[in-house]
Amino acid sequence: MSHSERVIGLVEDDQIMGESIVQRLALEGVTVKWWQCGRDAIREIPVSKLEAIVCDIRLPDLNGEDVFRESARSSNVPPFLFITGHGDIDQAVRLMRAGAADYFMKPFELDDFLIRIGELMGPPPASGTPVLGFAPKMKELERLLTRVAKLNSTVLIAGETGSGKEVAARFLHAMSASDSRPFMAVNCAAIPGDLLESELLGHEKGAFTGASQRHLGYAERAGEGILFLDEIGELRSELQAKLLRLIEDRSFYRVGGERPIPFNGRLVVATNADLPKLVEAGRFREDLYYRINVVSVRIPPLRERQQDIPWLMERFFAESAGRMETSLKGISSLAEEAALSYAWPGNIRELRNRMERAVALGLGQWVMPGDMFPEQSEGMASAMQMGSLEDVRQSAEKRHIIRALLATHGEVGAASKLLGIGRTTLWEKMRRLGLNDGDPDL
Asked if 360 interacts with ligand ATP (CB under 6 A), we say no
Closer to ligand ATP by CB, 154 or 394: give it.
154
Instruction: Write the CA distances from 36 to 42, 44, 54, 148, 397, integer angstroms.
Output: 11, 12, 12, 37, 54
Closer to ligand ATP by CB, 36 or 187: give it.
187
CA angle 297, 303, 308 (to 5 degrees): 80
Q: Exposure pattern of 30-50 as b/e (b: 16+ CB <10 Å)?
A: bebbbbbebeebbeebeeeeb
Contact 147, 141 (CB under 8 A): no
In the set 159, 217, 369, 370, which binds ligand ATP (CB under 6 A)?
A: 159
**Which residue type occupies 180?**
S
Q: Exposure pattern of 174-183 as b/e (b: 16+ CB <10 Å)?
A: ebbebeebeb
CA angle 401, 404, 408 (to 5 degrees): 140
> For residues 60-79, which are near ligand ATP according to CB under 6 A?
none
Q: How many CA atoms lie within 13 A of 183 on its CB side?
A: 18
Asked if 161 interacts with ligand ATP (CB under 6 A), we say yes
Least CB distance to ligand ATP at residue 300 (A): 11
Closer to ligand ATP by CB, 245 or 315: give it.
315
Asked if 179 interacts with ligand ATP (CB under 6 A), we say no
Least CB distance to ligand ATP at residue 230 (A): 5
Q: Are strands 183-187 and 261-262 parallel, antiparallel or unpaired?
A: unpaired
Residues binding ligand ATP: number (CB under 6 A): 17
In the set 18, 162, 217, 300, which binds ligand ATP (CB under 6 A)?
A: 162
Q: Report whether the peptide linkage leading into residue 107 is cis, meaning its omega lies within 30 degrees of zero.
A: yes
Closer to ligand ATP by CB, 7 or 175: give it.
175
Closer to ligand ATP by CB, 163 or 416: give it.
163
Per-residue contact flags (x/-) with ligand ATP for residues 2 to 21, judged by CB under 6 A: --------------------
Q: Are strands 330-331 and 366-367 parallel, antiparallel or unpaired?
A: parallel
What stretches of 247-371 adopt beta strand conformation (E)? 251-252, 261-262, 266-271, 295-299, 330-331, 366-367
Q: Shortest Cβ contact with ligand ATP: which residue?
A: 164
Asked if 272 interacts with ligand ATP (CB under 6 A), we say yes
**Residue 7 DSSP SS3:** strand
Residue 99 makes CB contacts below 8 A (sequence gap 6+) with: 72, 80
Asked if 133 interacts with ligand ATP (CB under 6 A), we say yes
Closer to ligand ATP by CB, 172 or 243: give it.
172
Asked if 164 interacts with ligand ATP (CB under 6 A), we say yes
> For residues 396-435, which are near ligand ATP according to CB under 6 A?
none
Least CB distance to ligand ATP at residue 21 (A): 39
Least CB distance to ligand ATP at residue 433 (A): 22
> For residues 196-235, which are near ligand ATP according to CB under 6 A?
230
In the set 173, 203, 285, 352, which binds ligand ATP (CB under 6 A)?
A: 352
**Burial class (CB within 10 angstroms; exposed 0-12, middle 13-18, buried 19+) of 244:** middle
Rounded to an integer, what distance in angstroms lies between the CA atom of residue 214 and that of residue 382? 62
Asked if 303 interacts with ligand ATP (CB under 6 A), we say no
In the set 116, 165, 203, 285, which binds ligand ATP (CB under 6 A)?
A: 165
Site stretch for ligand ATP (CB under 6 A), options 59-67, 85-93, 165-173, 414-422:
165-173
Contact 105, 84 (CB under 8 A): yes
Q: Interface residues with ligand ATP (CB under 6 A)?
A: 132-133, 159, 161-167, 230, 270, 272, 315, 348-349, 352
